[in-house]
Structure 1
Amino acid sequence: MSQENKVALVTGGARGIGRGISRHLLDQGWRVVFCDVDSEAAIDFLAQHPGTRDLYFVHADVSVEAQVEQALGEAMAWAGRLDALINNAGLADPDNGPVEDLDLSVWQRRLDVNLTGPLLMTKHGIRHLRETRGSIVNIASTRALQSEPDTEAYAATKGGLVALTHALAVSLGPEIRVNCISPGWIDVRAEQPGAGDNVEPLSQRDHEQHPAGRVGRADDIASTVAFLISDNAGFVTGQNIVVDGGMTRKMIYED
């Protein structure tokens, strides 16, 4: 089966890292279904690819099981197969305020979208992925490994996603491989609707603090996704791949 015939479903694909993943896979010859709750951003993304028959949008909130089922049904009706599921959708703002003031509804919403969402997408995508011996990539965060103050809800969901990844890899193998990517600082401003070429450059200090010499880009994550869902990664499963320019390996003490 050539790559041109394969189908990937990307959640949260209308903006940010998800948009970068969707674009990269489309450029690599994949047929791409992307789902999102932001219809305006999705229309903007579709408008960047006029005439293509290989990009399809499905509106869905991944935390709602009925919408997940419907989204996968629409994806299969359009594409007829599913080779890769990229669970990227999530609430990105990590700041939940002081934990003693943390409203339970804020905690629960983070769990629902960032952790339950990938579980639901996987639950209802398994039978389709088994038919193609496909793979799953979950997008976590380096905040699963290290923290700033007042980020308990976000960190917990991403840590849970890393653990869910290796649990699923053991349960679903060998038919389905499951891996995880933990991005560090990824500058996604260019992946927002209407961004154009007017994105203000980051500072030299922003870049130089990274051992790799620069802040990350959406393509850094997208190319890692492309590898993990390819046949070249056939012996890779249950792994959390950290893509952060080396920041989690850097020992930092204040003077």
Structure 2
Amino acid sequence: MNDTEQVALVTGGAKGIGRGIVQHLASNGWRVVFCDVDDSVGKALADGSDGQVRFIAADVASERSVKKLVRETLAWGGRLDAVINNAGIANPETGPIEDLSLADWQRRLDVNLTGPFLVTKHAVPHLRDSRGAIVNLASTRALQSEPETEAYAATKGGVVALTHALAMSLGPDIRVNCISPGWIDTRAFQGQPEGVPPLAQSDHRQHPAGRVGRPEDIASLVAYLISPAAGFITGQNFVVDGGMVRKMIYED
């Protein structure tokens, strides 16, 4: 490996959008460390990378685990140029608010919001050295909601606010931005890509862009935001949802 190659750390990279980000960055010359709590899928992804990708088992809700993650990233890569805080509990539905347990509420806060805080906290000294960048993954659910999704929406709203606060605190040395995906079809990025049936045409047609999103839609924006081409962009939340958040919907 070339010691001058840039190194990115992606949390929650074994499946879904995170997996797409890992693969996209690696294919564009980045050395990528990614973490996940799913050991088997994470190891399988790294094993097929020809040494360009390193998997480290880690729980972003644990400060001890995060410290180890950053330490091992530096030991392997020799530097750190970008952090993509993607790890999260993806299921937004938690049932009626009166039945939502404090433990379930707290676990989502721990992973979805405290996780990005901890990873950023321990990565910042190394990102300052490289004048690097951070991209946080939020959700359009930070901006609009369905019933019984309070915990998830609260965490993603927190990620958006954390992003602009960090941008003010860490600039100009480190740029910090956020992406809020809409419906991204990640079924082929779950570590078992075979046998994924096509989505209904109505799923695609309801989007003003004409289709449901793909992980590469998010990954390509991540790659741009951590590149020198985005040097004048910080503190922003980019909604990538095929236009759905701008669509006025009424029942007939």
TM-score by length of 2: 0.98
1:10 is matched with 10
* Mapped partners of 1:201, 1:62: distance in 2: 33
Q: Match of 1:83? A: 81
Could you say what secondary structure the match of 1:10 adopts?
strand
Where 1:248 maps in the other structure, the secondary structure is helix
Give the corresponding residue for 1:62.
60
What secondary structure does 1:72 align onto?
helix
Number of residue pairs the alignment of both structures matches: 251
Provide, for residues 64-95 of structure 1, a one-character-per-residue CA deviation record: whole Å limited to 9, x for no partner: 00000001000000000000000000000000
Q: How does 1:214-233 map to 2 (within 5 A)?
A: 214-233=211-230
1:152-176 CA-partner distances (Å, limit 9, x unpaired): 0000000000000000000000000
Q: Distance in 1 between matches of 2:164 and 2:89?
A: 22
Give the secondary structure class of the aligned counterpart of 1:175.
coil
Residue type at the aligned position of 2:186: V
Q: How does 1:11-160 map to 2 (within 5 A)?
A: 11-49=11-49, 52-160=50-158
CA distance in 2, matches of 1:172, 1:22: 25
Give the match for residue 251 of structure 2: 254
Who is 1:193 aligned against? 191
Work out the CA distance in 1 between the residues paired with 2:156 and 2:221: 18
Instruction: Report the CA distance between 1:36 and its aligned residue.
Output: 0.6
| Structure 2: unaligned runs, 5 residues or longer | none
Deviations, residues 190-238 of structure 1 (Å, cap 9, x unaligned): 1011223x21000000000000000000000000000000000000000
8 A Cα contact 1:3 1:29, kept in partner = no
Matching residue of 1:164: 162
The answer to whether the 8 A contact 2:11-2:87 is kept is: yes
Structure 1 runs, 4 residues or longer, greater than 6 Å off: none
Partner AA of 2:125 in structure 1: R
Deviations 1:129-160 (A, max 9, x none): 00000000000000000000000000000000
Alpha carbons of 1:167 and 1:3: their partners in 2 closer, same or farther (altered >3 Å)? farther
1:236 matched residue in structure 2 = 233
Tell whether the 8 Å contact from 1:4 to 1:31 is kept in structure 2 after alignment.
no
Q: 1:176 aligns with which of 144, 149, 174?
A: 174
**TM-aligned CA distance change 1:46 to 1:119, over 3 Å:** same
Checking the alignment, whether the CA contact within 8 Å between 2:94 and 2:149 is kept in structure 1 is yes
Instruction: State the percentage of identical aligned residues.
Output: 67
CA distance in structure 2 between the partners assigned to 1:162 and 1:18 by the alignment = 18
Question: Deviation at 1:4?
Answer: 7.1
Farther off after superposition, 3-12 or 57-66: 3-12
Instruction: State the Cα deviation string for residues 108-141 of structure 1 (Å, max 9, x = none).
Output: 0000000000000000000000000000000000
**Shift in Å, 1:23:** 0.1
Aligned to 1:207: 204
Does the aligned pair in 2 maintain the 1:4–1:30 contact within 8 Å?
Answer: no
CA distance in 2, matches of 1:193, 1:30: 21
Distance 2:66 2:203 in 1: 38
C-alpha separation in 1, matches of 2:48 and 2:228: 29
Counterpart code for 1:218: P
| Matching residue's letter, 1:222 | A
C-alpha separation between the residues in 1 aligned to 2:100 and 2:236? 32
Q: Give the Cα separation in 2 of the matches to 1:86 and 1:164.
A: 14
